[in-house]
Amino acid sequence: MEAQPQPRGDDVPGSRDLSAALELIRQRRLQLIPRMSFRKAAATAARLTDMPWAESTWRGIESGKDTALPERVAVMAFTVGATPDELADRDEPEAAELLRLLIQQRAEREPALAEIDRSATSESVIQALLQSLDEIRASEVPSEARSEMERLLLGRVMAEIRGQTDRFRSQLASDDNGTT
Q: How much is the pLDDT for 4?
A: 42
pLDDT digits over 135-147, tens only?
A: 898 888 999 999 9
Domain count along the chain: 1
pLDDT tens readout for residues 19-72? 999 999 999 999 987 789 999 999 999 988 888 999 999 999 999 999 999 999
Kindly report the backbone phi and psi dihedral angles of residue 124, in degrees, each rounded to the nearest multiple of 5, phi listed first: -70, -35
pLDDT at 14 over 70: no
pLDDT over 90 percentage in the chain: 56
Read off the pLDDT of residues 153-166 as tens digits, 9 standing for 90 and up: 999 988 888 888 88
User: Residue 77 pLDDT > 80, yes or no?
Assistant: yes
Given a contact cutoff of 8 angstroms between Cβ atoms, the answer to whether 66 and 57 are in contact is: yes
Three-class DSSP category at 56 = helix
* DSSP, res 81: T
Does residue 107 belong to any structural domain of this protein?
A: yes
Query: What pTM does this model have?
Result: 0.76
- Does 164 reside within a domain? no
Q: Is residue 152 part of a domain?
A: no
36 is in which domain, residue-wise? Answer: 20-116
Q: Is residue 136 part of a domain?
A: no
> Which tops the pLDDT comparison, 128 or 9?
128
Task: Tell me, yes or no, whether 36 lies in a domain.
Answer: yes
Residue 6 pLDDT grade (very low, low, confident, very high; cuts 50, 70, 90): very low
Residue 135 counted as domain residue:
no
pLDDT at 10: 54
Q: Do the domain assignments include residue 175?
A: no
Indicate whether 80 belongs to any domain: yes
* Kind and range of the H or E run holding 160: helix 143-176
Strand ranges inside 27-175, DSSP E: none
d(CA 152, CA 138): 17
The predicted pLDDT at position 73 comes to 97
